[in-house]
Chain A
Amino acid sequence: MPRLASTQQSCWDAPLFSMAYVLHIILLLLYCDTIHSGQSLVKVIEEPTVLSPQTIQLLCNLSDIPNNPPTVTGYWTKDGQEIENSKEAVNRNNDQYIFKKTIQAADVGNYSCVFRENDAQVTFVFDAPVMKDKRDKPIVSYIGDTVVLRCTLKNTPKTWNWYKVNNTEKDLINVTVSPLKYNIVIHQNVTKLSVLNLTEADAGTFICSAEFDIKSIESYLELRVLSLLEPLKPFLVIVAEVIILVTLILVWEKCKPGQDHNTATTENVLYTEQTSKLTHSDSNGMETTTRQRKTEQ
């Protein structure tokens, strides 16, 4: 039976952590052995993660109570709710009041010891490990392709299971039943589910479940299956736009300044000279005047 108590005397003024932060802690135990009056303290220390069934003893040590009464009453709460029959009278022991509780490792939750006299409390948090590589965006794949869904965890669970959500029900994925469809590979703390030959029906939510003795941890993965037409639609729209624009530009250019070219090439050379004098813009004026001088000579 692992004992957590240590004889640290000081308890630092850690502010109360928010619940959101606490949930991210991987099975850490919070422990504080000396509570000063009027403070609620949450202290974090790394302990080996408790993954197999065992009993754990929580210990709260209260000191520095004014008047030093012979007994103080305290009770334990789990997840904010008072545990029945947990109220106890704690006897003084050399100016300290030691309050203990024994729990099973499987009973995960937040345990707090609360002392009536000065409302001091300490929260011990038991929580499950969190999945790494959490994907909040759906995994996308195409019909006929193979997709690999992956879950990793810091610790190695006893076993991994994959489920497919089917209208709020979980269906276990059994590789032996459908070997052509699914393939599961497990490498200790990593598991991969390969879904072969995707169809539209395969789209949906998949659950990878890491089974421990005390609890199983789940992570959700969403799969979206697209048909090959999906990216083809915007592509064809763009191709159509390109063809239209190129045609428009070339036609516009042929029609607008094209008349000058046509008249020049089909006419007599001398007449060409005269029209070129009249129709050319200023940028060609230099060449035109040069040519004029030559013909005049």
Chain B
Amino acid sequence: MENVGVCDEFVNLKATELRLGLPGTEDEKQKVSCGKSNKRALPETEKDIESTGKTETASPPKAQIVGWPPVRSYRKNSIQTKKNEAEGQGMYVKVSMDGAPYLRKIDLTMYKQYPELMKSLENMFKFSVGEYFEREGYKGSDFVPTYEDKDGDWMLVGDVPWEMFVSSCKRLRIMKGSEAKGLGCGV
């Protein structure tokens, strides 16, 4: 080993590192990883070690190495989208408002309940939604929030429990005027 000094630094870092592996394998690993120092023979600096990211001894345990494990990005991407959906990482839905020139998008996972969502919509489109009643729907406003569910039907926002709403909502539409009245309270 040319740069024992560097190895010492590695050793120190390794002592604090969390690694998977049985006790007693430490020594072997240390020897091996020192031997594997990617950049060698030159005045070793921390900068070199950090910049490459491939020097496994210095990188934090969870840092991902380029191209490892060797799974093609095509395959990774195909599975990744599914994982994101499964973990519910961000559920963006389109929001249209009758009369507005363009649509908006909101992330439903940002809200915990209906009032938060309503407030956000009201701020976004500068309107007021009125008060929700279980039987009559929204009263006190020309605007009625609706959503399209998985079956393609247009439903009134607020009828079902929040979690059920988030999982079935495909897009939102703020209805206005006479069309809204049909969904709202009977006038």
**Do A and B interact with each other, yes or no?**
no
Q: Hey, which bits of chain B sit against chain A, CB under 8 A? A: none
Q: Hey, which bits of chain A sit against chain B, CB under 8 A? A: none
